[in-house]
Amino acid sequence: MIPQGAEGRRPTSARRPLPAEDFPSDFLIEEEDFCNRQRPRLFLLAYIHSSILATRKRAHTRATWASGRGYDTDVGLGVVFMVGRARTPEEQRIVQEESRVHHDIVQGNYTDAYELLSYKALASLAWVSRHCSPVPWTLHADDDVLVDPPSLTSLLRRRLSREKNRFLCYPWKKSKVQRQGRWAVQDEDYPSGTYPEYCMGAAWVVQTNVIPRLLRAAAQVQFLWVDDVYVTGILAQGAGVKHSPWMKKFISRENISKEDIGKKVIWYHLGEDRSAWWKLILGYHGYH
């Protein structure tokens, strides 16, 4: 059974499409002019799944690849952080103050729980579609990812006409459904033994004009709380969106090394140890 969602309602069954009344499209902090405000030439909009108390991770991300210092004019990157409802008045104070200072927080009106990451994902896509549709590309990333924006956008500019209607990511094929452990999914929620092809969830890229099709598919295909499978697998399948293996060679799932600089564009799960590596990336591109 799915935990309570955007407004405290429950879909009657996880195997059914998400009811329209449960779709998480309301925002407490919206930053609706983000993609127009001081960023008229955005090429890539990155949204990062975060939690209100993950202030240190957001600070590290802002200080590294989301900073825009030295490359913003050429790269055209904008970064926002997606959070849910506060649990306490102190949490709301934190998110409001951070929003006042940085203007890069989007707070959705959904419960911010691990079991509801698919609600966060849908809210994020709805926000991007509503406010940033002219931006050519959208990047999803977790808050412990490191990105080389100059290299990534250079790759995307070269592939703009070739990768239409495709997720660019580290794809998983014929992945078995786990019935026990952290990612356990019950038979009644997903009866098949394997998932459709989907992207490893820490980061993926898609052309922004594909996002409305994914959102429309949410009303037609079964809901699943495992957000990477749901968005890049189940919704993608329902929307007829394919997966390109082209970017796989530019993504590192291992610890970063100096040999990676200039060869990889995304590194997974680096936590807060990113500053030194970011300096090497800037040096590689001639930024000081």
Q: What is the pLDDT of residue 1?
A: 31
Average pLDDT over residues 57-66: 93
Q: Per-residue pLDDT tens for 88-104?
A: 999 999 999 999 999 99
Q: What is the pLDDT of residue 11?
A: 39
Question: Worst-scoring range by mean pLDDT, 35-49, 62-76, 141-155, 163-177?
Answer: 62-76
Q: Mean of the per-residue pLDDT values for the chain?
A: 88
Q: Is the pLDDT of residue 3 over 70?
A: no
Yes or no: say if 108 and 28 are a contact pair by the CB < 8 Å rule: yes
How remote is the C-alpha of 109 from its chain's centroid? Answer: 17
Q: What is the pLDDT of residue 166?
A: 95
Yes or no: say if 218 and 235 are a contact pair by the CB < 8 Å rule: yes
Q: What is the pLDDT of residue 9?
A: 38
Q: What is the pLDDT of residue 73?
A: 65
Q: What is the pLDDT of residue 91?
A: 96
Q: What is the share, in percent, of the chain residues with pLDDT greater than 90?
A: 66
Indicate the domain borders of the chain: 23-171+201-284
> Which CATH number among 3.90.550, 3.20.20, 1.10.3120, 3.30.70 corresponds to the domain 23-171+201-284?
3.90.550
Question: Could you give the CA distance from residue 263 to residue 250 in angstroms, rounded to a whole number?
Answer: 7
**Residue 114 CB neighbours (<10 A):** 11
Q: What is the pLDDT of residue 39?
A: 62
Q: What is the pLDDT of residue 69?
A: 60
Q: What is the pLDDT of residue 88?
A: 95
Reduced 3-state DSSP string for the chain: CCCCCCCCCCCCCCCCCCCHHHCCCCEEECCCCCCCCCCCCCCEEEEEECCCCCHHHHHHHHHCCCCCCCCHHHHCEEEEEEECCCCCHHHHHHHHHHHHHHCCEEEECCCCCHHHHHHHHHHHHHHHHHHCCCCCEEEEEECCCEECHHHHHHHHHHHCCCCCCEEECCEECCCECCCCCCCCCCCCCCCCCECCCEECCCEEEEEHHHHHHHHHHCCCCCCCCCHHHHHHHHHHHHHCCEEECHHHHHEECCCCCHHHECCECEECCCCCCCHHHHHHHHHHCCCC
Q: Is the pLDDT of residue 249 over 50?
A: yes
Structure tokens belonging to residue 212: 């409305």
